[in-house]
Amino acid sequence: MKIGLVVLTYAAMLGAAYVYKGELLGWLERDGGGAEIPLMLLLSLLFALVPVIPFGVIGGVLGAKYGILVGSLLNVAGSSLAAVIMLLTVRYLFSQQGRRYLARFRRVEAFTELYERRPFLSVLAARLIPVMPAPAVNVYSALTRISLPAFAAATLLGKIPVMLVFAVVGDTVLSDPALTAKALLIYAAFLAAVFIGYKLLLKQSASRPASREAAGARELE
């Protein structure tokens, strides 16, 4: 009953967003002043939960409408709230079934254990390096034992760079294309640095169990 209600709710949201996406985007582009900011936050949350339009488009529109600072704040707040809502929904309804399903696959279960040993850094890296779709990160996190505060904090921090880039691009792509290009280059360099650091972290985490096993074997001898 609960699962069916959630499915129907999401289906209704998806249908409404798809049918009225033109009107919603048009409303986004109108100048309504600061009074519309709470509604913009709700709309940002809706598109993050029901991604019928890539969130980068929404983030760019918010940046173009409200500027880099306010646009970035709306992007981060909306997408982070959506991530928390999705995690709680999946965890509340599907946690036990999902964990039993993951236990059937050794490699996935091993990754889950690594994920749970370093929950904050794992989620932070997944947000900073947006290779894995955000909904997939939310669902996978819901099926692990990561705490809600750790997930929320890592998500909030990890989303700041990419959401800032969305707002910068939206604010400058027409008025200052050179600044847009510089922002994208800086972000690309940032991603490369984070990716290298994440690879080193994974290598370090993988080497620790091996060294412990070797030490245990020497003690037995």
CB 124 within 8 A of CB 158: yes
User: How far apart are alpha carbons 50 and 105 in whole angstroms?
Assistant: 29
Helices (H), the chain: 2-19, 21-29, 37-49, 55-102, 106-117, 119-128, 134-142, 148-172, 177-220
Q: Tell me the mean pLDDT in the region 86-103.
A: 75
Q: Residues 19-77: pLDDT tens digits?
A: 766 776 676 566 666 667 888 888 888 888 877 777 777 888 788 778 888 888 999 99
DSSP characters over 171-198: HHTTT-HHHHHHHHHHHHHHHHHHHHHH
Digit-coded pLDDT (tens) for 145-170: 788 999 999 999 989 888 888 888 87
Rounded to two decimals, the pTM is 0.70
Q: Who wins on pLDDT, 129 or 185?
A: 185
Per-residue pLDDT at 18? 64
Return the closest-CA partner of residue 76 out of 184, 149, 160: 160
Mean of the per-residue pLDDT values of the chain: 76
Distant-in-sequence, close-in-space partners of 45: CB < 8 Å, separation ≥ 6? 78, 81, 82, 85
- pLDDT-derived band at 215 (thresholds 50, 70, 90) equals very low
- Asked if pLDDT for residue 212 goes beyond 70, the answer is no
**pLDDT above 90 for 84:** yes
Q: What is the pLDDT of residue 13?
A: 56
Q: How many CA atoms lie within 13 A of 16 on its CB side?
A: 11
